[in-house]
Structure 1
Amino acid sequence: MTNKTRNITRFLLFTGTVISLFFVPWTLVWAWIRPLPDTLPAQMEEAIGYGYEGMIVYVDQAGEAPSYYAAGWHDREKRIPADPHALFKIASISKLYDAVAVTKLVSAGRLSLDKTLADYLPELADRIENAEKITLRNMIQHRSGIVNYTNAPNFWAAPSRTYEENLSLILDLPANFDPGEDYEYCNTNYLLLGRIMSNELGHDTFRFVQNEILEPLNLTNTYESLKETNMDDVMSGYHVGHPYDLKPDDLGMVATAEDVGLFLRALNDGSVFENDEQEIYTSIYKYEHSGWVPGYQSFANYYKDIDTVVIQFYNTTDKDLLLWNLSEIINNRLRKILGKR
């Protein structure tokens, strides 16, 4: 390579770096490089300064009593401070409970991971491509290729409520890929798994979750929906640019950070399982999760190296997911603070 070529290459690399830096959200950079606070409350107050209305953190570190933290507002309009014991919409964290429920039914011989969508829901054999090839295992692991109904245009502006309404958004659409050939996170998978489980049980899946998971773990602050709660106990949710509190929107399971933390601990130490259930679960799904619905971001993490469960709730979302990316940076900083204890 000649000197002239080297100089041109360096110039192009420099120019590309400058251009890429121009488009970097500097809030993320600043949040990442700032000196690490000494305490979790200090980090949470710093986070509130980035635009979250409120935040809850629950910590279960081995050998210590659980810790509860809150910052910002439980209800911005009423000026009610954040409460670490408030109820919160946990969104897709609920998939962990569903995966455990499937595991228990498989262990009991009531479902098979290798049977197909067409086997369990034959009415969909001609309405969902590859239904005769898509196994329960594919659906649990998001490897089915089925279209995600929440990706429908403007879905979150007016979310549909029922199984039938949600399913109608993806019927007769071509598959995104052949079963087992790729991975794509897809809420339709768990919509269908819920119907398969309820058909087998003869009642709704949450009753099974309650009987087989929540009650044995004494989790009394986990609910199927808002309808079962005292709404004053539920943390308000806000979306940047949207003028109203999103709390009234009923979008799935609701729980306290403590209840989610106790469940996550039982999931990771195996106490939620019996017989061969943990072996089955390990073969099909993961041991931590996050969730998002308008106004609510939730993260359930287990850090094996420090044997610590951390649940993080943020009651503010935005269209461009800047606050999601920012929350992942904050979560990592909280983990570093815990690691220094």
Structure 2
Amino acid sequence: MIKNKKAKWIVRILLLVGTAISLYFVPWLLVKAWILPLPDTVQEQMDEAIGHGFDGMIVYIDQKDKEPSFYAAGWKNKEKKIPANPHSLFKIASISKLYHVAAITKLVDDGRLSLDKTLVDYLPELDGRIENADEITLRLMIQHRSGIPNFTDAPGFWESPTETYEEGLALILDQPANFEPGEDYEYCNTNYLLLNKIMDEELGYDNFKFIQKEILSPLQLNHTYSSLDAVNVDDVMSGYHVGYPHDLKTNDYGMHATAQDVGKFVKALNEGTLFNEREQKIYPYEYEHSGWVPGYQSFARYDKELEAVVVLFYSTTDPDLYNWNLSEIVNNRVIKILKEE
């Protein structure tokens, strides 16, 4: 959720930006990025990506039997001409869903939650307010198969982003379902708005404290934080949106972490050290993820062939999602470089 009120008018401007020129050139720039000869090193690929228009980039690689590698290119803060730092904090956006599902898994193992209980079982006040609430289980919400409308898709959402659970929920109450529970898949942030509320209600406190105790501390993830309020803003990498001239790092979009902390978490998730044997069987979600908020694109990948975690952060977004498609091309090229080394 966006807590900084300044973000409301910033995002309003961001979402209005977009020109016919950018639409004309996007496909050709993507083709160019795809067909260029593959560089010999990850650093060369990152420098090339900066040349494609990204302001800053961080890559962290942890491959079996090798020391972790840290890379940076471009700017941490382009106004102050501060070079990118691979240890900077970054807004990880929807990568945070992996942490939330890990916490739910531990609560299920403790008998405090059940993946097969329904939304009405935990939030009875939503009976009749969210269609099929008596059939939608926690498992379906985790896996984006609930059919609940996505509150961030509500008309006008980005002109005036919500700041609280109640405000976000109000955007989808009494709306028809997008599909019957379990009958389809649709990525939906409302699922996680509700799951976070359910965890908070069960715990009696903010679920990030549980994440801190049960996940971050055991893994010694000392550079992962709940929000901008918990960090020194000077430690955060600047973020930029095409067409908007100012730094977006002071807007609060949720969890912040270093690439190394994200990498350690994803490694533990994929290699089984995050969970006990029961929890490994319970875990119902993905093992890698990506995230997007204005100014920040984040990718946490695990390549089984390489037995490697690769975390990639990009500090530039745009209204047409050209930079998202471009980053996916760069991601694949980084993996290819690693496989050819």
SS in structure 2 opposite 1:123? Answer: helix
SS in structure 2 opposite 1:320? Answer: coil
Q: Deviations over 1:143-166 (max 9, x none)?
A: 000011111234234421111111
Partner of 1:200: 202
Partner of 1:254: 256
State the distance in 1 between where 2:113 and 2:277 align. Answer: 16
1:200 Cα deviation (Å)? 0.7
Structure 1 segment 72-111 matched on structure 2, within 5 A: 72-111=74-113
Q: Aligned letter for 2:128?
A: D
Partner of 2:265: 263
Partner of 1:322: 322
Cα pair distance change 1:81/1:23, threshold 3 Å: closer
Q: Deviations over 1:92-124 (max 9, x none)?
A: 000000111111111111111111001100011
State the distance in 2 between where 1:154 and 1:320 align. Answer: 17
State the distance in 2 between where 1:232 and 1:114 align. Answer: 43
Q: Deviations over 1:10-48 (max 9, x none)?
A: xxxxxxxxxxxx997111111111100000110001000
Cα pair distance change 1:149/1:279, threshold 3 Å: same
- Contact kept, 8 Å, 1:206 with 1:224, in 2: the verdict is yes
- Contact kept, 8 Å, 2:26 with 2:322, in 1: the verdict is no
Structure 1 segment 1-341 matched on structure 2, within 5 A: 25-281=27-283, 284-341=284-341
State the distance in 2 between where 1:157 and 1:296 align. Answer: 18
RMSD of aligned C-alpha atoms?
1.1
Structure 1 segments unaligned to the other structure (5+ residues): 1-21
State the distance in 2 between where 1:142 and 1:310 align. Answer: 25
State the distance in 2 between where 1:83 and 1:152 align. Answer: 36
State the distance in 2 between where 1:277 and 1:81 align. Answer: 41
Q: Deviations over 1:254-273 (max 9, x none)?
A: 00000000000000011110
Cα pair distance change 1:309/1:103, threshold 3 Å: same
Partner of 1:19: none
State the distance in 2 between where 1:298 and 1:308 align. Answer: 17
Partner of 2:11: none
Q: Deviations over 1:133-152 (max 9, x none)?
A: 10001000000000111112
- Contact kept, 8 Å, 2:297 with 2:313, in 1: the verdict is yes
- Contact kept, 8 Å, 1:144 with 1:180, in 2: the verdict is yes
State the distance in 2 between where 1:275 and 1:267 align. Answer: 12
- Contact kept, 8 Å, 1:114 with 1:137, in 2: the verdict is yes
State the distance in 2 between where 1:236 and 1:300 align. Answer: 19
Q: Aligned letter for 1:269?
A: E
SS in structure 2 opposite 1:276? Answer: helix
- Contact kept, 8 Å, 1:86 with 1:256, in 2: the verdict is yes
- Contact kept, 8 Å, 1:94 with 1:253, in 2: the verdict is yes
SS in structure 1 opposite 2:305? Answer: helix
Q: Which has the larger radius of gyration?
A: 1
1:218 Cα deviation (Å)? 0.4
1:242 Cα deviation (Å)? 1.0
State the distance in 1 between where 2:35 and 2:44 align. Answer: 16
State the distance in 2 between where 1:158 and 1:215 align. Answer: 36
Structure 2 segments unaligned to the other structure (5+ residues): 1-23
Q: Aligned letter for 2:297?
A: Q
Q: TM-score normalised to the size of structure 1?
A: 0.92
